[in-house]
């Protein structure tokens, strides 16, 4: 557990008629979104998602929000509201519901369907409450109003949270596509009405706040996708998020219009698109979709819609690039990355692009063709929202520091007082009362790592050790000494991995170890722990000075 804000003390007891807001993930990062709202002793949670690990977090599968702030108060949680069905908003839900499984989960039809699919992996059958835009619902001391927003997944919702402390409008992830594929636009008239009624705190998606203008419409990528797929010599593999129903819809339509069969590849893609089709969000053209096990029956005239657009190591496209998937990518095949890169995934994705290119495939991505548009509002759209909502206070959410800072400046440019723009990090406590939002403290809030069956056992020190092992190797030194005299009776015996395999290299340092131990014993130092530190320091000094390396050093001193 760490406290990332030592300058901020713990918050005071929550005053009456004050709404407290604490993000446990999702600020200063893109992922693991989770925010806790507290009013009059009751808690409401908005979103519960995961963050995917970066290359400097070896062995980690997922990163969760830090539940420790609410762990002793789970009985006070009245509900969890999910804004939409992306993994960074729903995929930590199972880990939270393991601790209290009867918390009601509120969301739209598709969002709940995707969430329940995830929860089956945890063997949890949640209590769900399905809502839709235009509806309101009383949840304890909170009144929630659900508002349609357009995003890169259907059925996304913003939420207005109303208490006697004020009105909070939380956009969730959104953009303002005026020609969306499903005809469902962001409900700007309702945003404006709420603004007229008075919005005390506007919590706004920051992801594209540093990009000028307006986000390109989904419809504008159709001609590019059509041209690439129609001109492909052999198979086309389209990599996308397993929840990007709009993108999959476009690809299916293009495959159908070009007389090609299509198949879903990857467990999460098959599961999510089957659910989306059953619920009517995905319209599958007739005689187009085939099963994955039928792929070999249709030759090269195929469009395969796959997981793995972010370089996830176990996803279908990554396994194809590694040559350990039943689908072999070869010369003449075309691979389309129909998504943008989540920060931190660049190296993994470029490595896959290189491998696929080495096999002879043509790789098309956002860098060389308009095959993806973002699901988040750019600066022009955000300015429009600030002007129609006219909030008293603003809190940028969902983004890295550069995004949140840019979002804050947009708010100020539209007339929001700079002192009324709150930029917070995970764990920072924001109180809203009497029309004013302010930071009042911070709570311990760290990264919770999932590593196989282990949850939260991996620490930053563990990851540091893994990085050292992976980058610098390790050296072990075993020395046996006489417990009476302190003289060496065996060793030093030195073993190394990932540093140098030539044992003769260590002959020089063996003499240094013997001299250092003799000097330490003569100076009155005894005990295996103290002598082990002498060995560690001696080897570290030698390897750093002679080889400019910092391997992990494991000294073992045994008394006999």
Helix (H, G, I), strand (E, B) or coil at 239: strand
User: Residue 329, exposed/middle/buried by CB under 10 A (0-12, 13-18, 19+)?
Assistant: buried
Instruction: Round the CA-based radius of gyration of the chain to a whole number and report it.
Output: 28
Count of other CB atoms within 10 angstroms of residue 15: 11
Q: CA–CA separation, 210 vs 217, rounded Å?
A: 18
Q: CA–CA separation, 357 vs 329, rounded Å?
A: 9
Say if residue 76 is preceded by a cis peptide, omega within 30 of 0: no
Query: CB within 8 A of 241, min separation 6: which ones?
Result: 86, 87, 152, 247, 307, 309, 310, 339
Q: CA–CA separation, 388 vs 391, rounded Å?
A: 9
- 248 neighbors 282 (Cβ within 8 angstroms): yes
Q: CA–CA separation, 436 vs 420, rounded Å?
A: 7
H-helix or E-strand spanning residue 348: helix 346-358
Q: What is the pLDDT of residues 85-135, one digit of tens each?
A: 998 999 999 999 999 999 999 999 999 999 998 898 889 999 999 999 999
DSSP H stretches of helix in 458-527? 460-472, 507-522
Q: What is the pTM (predicted TM-score) of this model? A: 0.79
Q: CA–CA separation, 282 vs 271, rounded Å?
A: 13
Helix (H, G, I), strand (E, B) or coil at 259: coil
Q: What is the pLDDT of residues 34-60, one digit of tens each?
A: 999 999 999 999 999 988 765 555 456
Domain boundaries, the chain: 19-213+374-453, 218-364, 460-559
Q: CA–CA separation, 132 vs 144, rounded Å?
A: 12
CATH number for 460-559: choose from 1.10.3720.10, 3.10.20.580, 1.10.150.530, 3.10.580.10: 3.10.20.580
- 444 neighbors 470 (Cβ within 8 angstroms): no
pLDDT at 1: 31
Which CATH fold would you assign to the domain 218-364?
Rossmann fold (3.40.50)
What value, to the nearest 5°, has the Cα angle with vertex 407 and ends 401 and 411?
145
Cα of first residue to Cα of last residue in the chain, in angstroms, is 40
Structure tokens at 43: 């808690």
In the Cβ-directed half-sphere of 29, how many Cα atoms lie within 13 Å? 25
382-420 in b/e form (b: 16+ CB < 10 A) is bbbbbebbbbbbbbbbbbbeebbbbbbebbbebebeeeb
pLDDT at 368: 72
- 371 neighbors 228 (Cβ within 8 angstroms): yes
pLDDT at 3: 43
Which CATH fold would you assign to the domain 19-213+374-453?
Metallo-beta-lactamase; Chain A (3.60.15)
Query: CB within 8 A of 41, min separation 6: which ones?
Result: 76
Q: What is the pLDDT along the chain (560 residues), one digit of tens a residue?
A: 344 466 788 999 999 999 999 999 999 988 899 999 999 999 999 999 988 765 555 456 678 899 999 999 999 999 999 999 998 999 999 999 999 999 999 999 999 999 998 898 889 999 999 999 999 999 999 999 999 999 989 999 999 999 999 999 999 999 999 989 889 999 999 999 999 999 999 999 999 999 999 998 888 888 888 898 888 888 898 988 888 898 899 999 999 999 999 999 888 899 999 999 999 999 999 999 999 888 888 888 899 998 877 767 667 888 888 877 888 888 888 988 877 766 666 677 788 888 888 888 888 887 776 767 888 999 999 999 999 999 999 999 999 999 999 999 999 999 999 999 999 999 999 999 999 999 999 999 888 877 655 565 555 555 555 455 445 566 777 877 766 666 676 767 777 766 555 566 676 677 677 777 777 766 666 667 777 777 778 777 777 766 666 677 777 777 66
Q: CA–CA separation, 157 vs 526, rounded Å?
A: 67
Instruction: Please spell the DSSP secondary structure of 276-345, one letter per residue.
Output: HHHTTSS-PPTTTB--GGGGGGGTT-EEEEES-TT--TTSHHHHHHHT-SSSPP-TT-EEEE-SPPPTT-
Pairing of strands 236-239, 201-205: unpaired
């Amino acid at each position: 557990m760490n406290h990332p804000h030592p300058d901020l003390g713990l918050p005071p007891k929550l005053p009456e008629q004050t709404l407290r807001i604490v993000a446990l993930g999702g600020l200063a990062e893109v992922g693991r979104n989770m925010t806790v709202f507290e009013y009059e002793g009751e808690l409401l949670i908005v979103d519960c998602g995961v963050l995917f690990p970066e290359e400097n977090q070896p062995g980690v599968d997922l990163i969760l929000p830090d539940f420790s702030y609410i762990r002793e108060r789970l009985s006070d949680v009245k509900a969890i509201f999910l804004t939409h069905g992306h993994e960074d908003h729903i995929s930590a839900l199972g880990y939270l519901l393991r601790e209290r499984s009867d918390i009601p989960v509120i969301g739209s039809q598709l969002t709940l369907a995707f969430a329940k699919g995830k929860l089956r992996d945890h063997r949890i059958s949640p209590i769900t409450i399905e809502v839709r835009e235009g509806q309101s619902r009383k949840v304890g001391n909170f009144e929630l109003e659900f508002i349609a927003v357009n995003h890169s997944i259907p059925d996304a919702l913003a939420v207005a949270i109303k208490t006697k402390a004020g009105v909070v409008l939380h956009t969730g992830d959104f953009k303002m596509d005026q020609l969306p594929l499903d005809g469902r636009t962001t409900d700007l008239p309702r945003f404006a009405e709420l603004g007229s009624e008075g919005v005390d705190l506007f919590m706004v998606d920051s992801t594209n706040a540093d990009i000028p203008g307006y986000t390109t419409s989904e419809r504008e990528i159709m001609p590019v996708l059509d041209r690439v797929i129609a001109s492909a010599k052999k198979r086309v593999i389209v990599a996308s998020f397993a929840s990007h129903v709009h993108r999959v819809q476009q690809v299916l339509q293009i495959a159908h219009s070009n007389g090609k069969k299509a198949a879903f590849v990857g467990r999460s893609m098959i599961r999510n698109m089957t659910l989306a089709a059953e619920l009517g969000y995905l319209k599958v053209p007739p005689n187009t979709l085939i099963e994955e096990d039928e792929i070999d029956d249709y030759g090269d005239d195929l469009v395969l819609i796959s997981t793995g657009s972010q370089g996830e190591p176990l996803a279908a496209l990554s396994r194809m690039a590694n040559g350990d998937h039943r689908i072999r990518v070869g010369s003449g095949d075309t691979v389309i990355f129909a998504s943008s890169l989540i920060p931190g995934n660049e190296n993994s994705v470029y490595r896959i692009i290189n491998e696929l290119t080495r096999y002879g495939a043509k790789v098309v991505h956002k860098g060389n063709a308009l095959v993806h548009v973002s699901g988040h509002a750019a600066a022009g759209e955000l300015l429009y929202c600030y002007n129609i909502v006219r909030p008293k206070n603003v809190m940028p959410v969902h983004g890295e520091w550069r995004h949140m800072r840019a979002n804050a400046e947009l708010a100020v440019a539209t007339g929001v007082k700079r002192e009324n723009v709150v930029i917070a990090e995970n764990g920072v406590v924001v109180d809203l009362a009497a029309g004013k939002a302010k930071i009042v403290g911070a709570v311990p809030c760290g990264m919770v790592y999932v590593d196989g069956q282990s949850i939260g056992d991996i620490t930053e020190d563990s990851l540091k050790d893994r990085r050292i092992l992976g980058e610098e190797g390790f050296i072990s030194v075993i020395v046996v000494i006489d417990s009476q005299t302190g003289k060496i009776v065996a060793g030093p015996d030195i073993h190394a991995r990932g540093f140098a395999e030539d044992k003769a290299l260590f002959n020089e340092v063996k003499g240094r170890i013997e001299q250092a131990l003799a000097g330490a014993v003569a100076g009155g130092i005894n005990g295996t722990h103290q002598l082990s530190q002498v060995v560690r320091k001696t080897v570290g000094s030698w390897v750093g000075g002679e080889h400019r390396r910092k391997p992990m050093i494991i000294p073992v001193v045994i008394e006999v």
